[in-house]
Amino acid sequence: MPNHLIQAGILGVGSYLPERILTNKELEKMVDTTDEWIKSRSGVKERRIAEPEMSTSDLALRASRKALENAGIGPEELDLIILTTCSKDMIIPAGACLVQQELGATRAGAFDLEAGCTGFVYGLTIATQFIATGAMKHILVIGSENLSKVVNWEDRNTCVLFGDGAGAVVVGQVHAGEGVLATKLSAEGSGWQHLYIPAGGSKMPADPLTLEKKLHYVHMNGKEVFRYAVRVMEEESLNLVKAANLELSDIDLLIPHQANNRIIEHAAKRLGLSMDKVVVNLDRYGNTSSASIPIALAEAVETGRIKAGDNIVMVAFGAGLTSGGVVLKWGERQG
């Protein structure tokens, strides 16, 4: 282990979105809702839906290959794979192990991490620590979700919000002064019941009654989650900027969790940012949970919205209830 901390950052990015597009107009025929109601409440116009045979690890694999190619890193060079998801393939084994096998990353450890929509931020924070201490050199962090398979398509309050997709990053050493400048992880477990899937675990094992009552789908208290999100997105963003020894005027780009336009706009206003400095793809993809930030990051890199020297704030909230964020300075080698 080195006698000083190594600067960690993102070496490559990648994303994958299923081909099938489900529009609000199509949802009008499936559930009691309207295009205008969905757009006014959330900002979502359409979302991507994975094919029935496509699993969460399948989505993750496609995004991971793109991230590795973008980083110029071979799978054999990976030391660890962290898959963040709340819609994993099965209870055991970890989906990260399935990704490891398909990639041929035979040297890498692998585990899943579940922190709701904040999962990617948690995973990136953990990866940063392994790089900083010199324990590992290259880590793949993936946010992948197949939420269309765990939402109740008869519940208009949830099914209209979510979409499927995956984003991935390769984390490794970057130049001093670049990369991750600050991270923050938080949780308020007292609010766990506001966003959860009741059945399928040891607390409520699957049986005919849980299936009949549709307890294997997402249940959400939208008002309470919204109230929590508005508060923590502002608090976490301000704390992150301070921890990174930056001023609000130093922020070049905000990449928030893509859950609701009103929440995003509130956070941008509190940070004094115009919306042209905020990455928003919620209208096209819906809420892809832990995949939303890495998908948005990959798109921003691919479209040239991010350039060397930019200070980027990524902040999220999710089931748990959890929240957190990462501040990083984009470097010449990154992405």
Catalytic residue numbers, as ranges? 117, 257, 287
**DSSP letter assigned to residue 6:** P
Quote the tokens at residue 136.
């590992």
DSSP code per residue over 230-271: HHHHHHHHHHHHHHTT--GGG--EEEE-SS-HHHHHHHHHHT
CA–CA separation, 265 vs 255, rounded Å? 12
Is the Cβ–Cβ distance between 273 and 279 less than 8 Å?
no
Query: What distance separates the 2 farthest-apart alpha carbons in the chain?
Result: 62
- Report the DSSP beta bridge partners of residue 143: 84, 167
Q: How many CB atoms lie within 10 A of CB 134?
A: 14
Q: Which residues, 6 or more positions from 276, have their beta carbon under 8 angstroms from its beta carbon?
A: none
Residue 13, burial from CB neighbour count under 10 angstroms (0-12, 13-18, 19+): buried
Q: Which residues, 6 or more positions from 238, have their beta carbon under 8 angstroms from its beta carbon?
A: 270, 271
